[in-house]
């Protein structure tokens, strides 16, 4: 989803990015899935304008993840829209849809309960908000210093029914399609006579390709000549 590096722009001055250096840095995915392994070398990029305050401090991966370096790595930089990911990257989109909470507010509060309005965003790769949906969130106090999310009974019932329906569909899919092979037999290709192998995403059942016998070729009927002379008809 990330645009090529030629179309990415600096989040401070909107200047093009340039290749900076190749070094070992640990991205967020590597930190989650393989935290103890040595990260592989990655190409990092920086702003192409030397006068930009991000030069010598900020560097980004191709997906827009930020890394800092140098003695001024703690320096605060006023990025555009307070988004530190380059324009045209998936990280800039994530920073808006996941990390943006500056418009949330509390409109009702009591010592034991409070109500909050928060927004769900849909953004593009440049960080522009495409859709904004307000949502209601309720909290109740569970001790002197903390709050916990309060779920209304109607919402709880809806969630339980949705999970039960999902589990029932998974049960039918695993027990009917996987056990009796309905899925493989209903996806038969008559032209090739072959059904591709498939694996169930829920139970892991795997079934190899099925060779369906091709029907024998149809025999072409030869039309016999029916030209009979008039003399033969008279006789």
Q: What is the pLDDT of residues 204-213, one digit of tens each?
A: 656 555 555 5
Q: 92 versus 74: which is more confidently predicted? A: 92
Q: Please give the model's pTM, rounded to 2 decimal places.
A: 0.62
Buried b (16+ CB within 10 A) or exposed e, 190-224: eeeeebeebeeeeeeeebeeeeeeeeeeeeeeeee
Question: pLDDT by residue (tens digit) across 102-129?
Answer: 899 998 888 888 899 999 999 999 989 9
pLDDT tops 60 at residue 53: yes
3-state DSSP assignment of residue 193: coil
| 210 phi and psi angles, rounded to 5 deg | -105, 125
pLDDT tops 70 at residue 84: yes
At residue 138, the pLDDT reads 87
Question: pLDDT by residue (tens digit) across 125-149?
Answer: 998 999 999 988 888 888 877 888 8
pLDDT tops 90 at residue 160: no
Question: pLDDT by residue (tens digit) across 4-31?
Answer: 888 899 999 999 999 999 999 999 888 9
pLDDT class of 219 with cuts at 50, 70, 90: low
The answer to whether 81 touches 89, Cβ cutoff 8 Å, is no
The answer to whether 202 touches 212, Cβ cutoff 8 Å, is no
Average pLDDT over the chain, rounded to an integer: 78
* Residue 149 bridge partners (DSSP): 139
Q: What is the mean pLDDT of residues 55-74?
A: 85
Cα–Cα distances in angstroms (integers) from residue 61 to residues 30, 40, 129, in the given order: 13, 13, 23
pLDDT class of 185 with cuts at 50, 70, 90: very low
At residue 97, the pLDDT reads 92
Residues 6+ apart with CB under 8 A from 229: none
pLDDT tops 50 at residue 184: no
Helices (H), 7-100: 28-33, 90-97
CA distance 215 to 199: 28
Query: DSSP secondary-structure letter at 209?
Result: P
Q: Rounded to a whole number, what is the distance in angstroms from the first to the last CA of the chain? A: 87
Q: What percent of the chain has pLDDT over 90?
A: 31
């Amino acid at each position: 989803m990330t645009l090529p590096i030629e179309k990415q722009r600096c989040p401070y001055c909107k200047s093009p990015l340039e290749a900076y250096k190749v070094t070992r840095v640990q991205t967020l995915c590597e930190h989650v899935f393989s935290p103890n392994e040595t990260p592989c070398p990655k190409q990092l990029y920086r702003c192409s304008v030397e006068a930009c305050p991000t030069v010598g401090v900020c560097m980004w991966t191709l997906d827009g993840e930020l890394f800092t370096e140098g003695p001024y790595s703690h320096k605060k930089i006023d990025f555009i829209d307070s988004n530190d990911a380059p324009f045209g990257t998936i990280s800039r989109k994530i920073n808006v849809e996941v990390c943006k909470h500056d418009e949330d507010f509390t409109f009702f509060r009591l010592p034991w309960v409070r109500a909050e309005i928060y927004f769900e965003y849909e953004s593009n790769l440049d960080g522009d908000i495409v859709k904004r949906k307000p949502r209601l969130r309720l909290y109740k106090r569970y001790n002197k210093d903390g709050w916990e999310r309060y779920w209304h009974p109607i919402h709880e019932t809806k969630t339980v029914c949705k999970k039960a329906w999902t589990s029932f569909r998974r049960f039918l899919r695993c027990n009917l399609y996987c056990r009796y092979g309905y899925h493989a037999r209903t996806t038969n290709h008559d032209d090739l006579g072959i059904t591709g192998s498939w694996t169930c995403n829920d139970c892991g059942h795997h079934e190899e390709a099925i060779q369906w016998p091709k029907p024998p070729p149809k025999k072409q009927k030869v039309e016999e000549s029916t030209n009979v002379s008039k003399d033969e008809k008279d006789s």
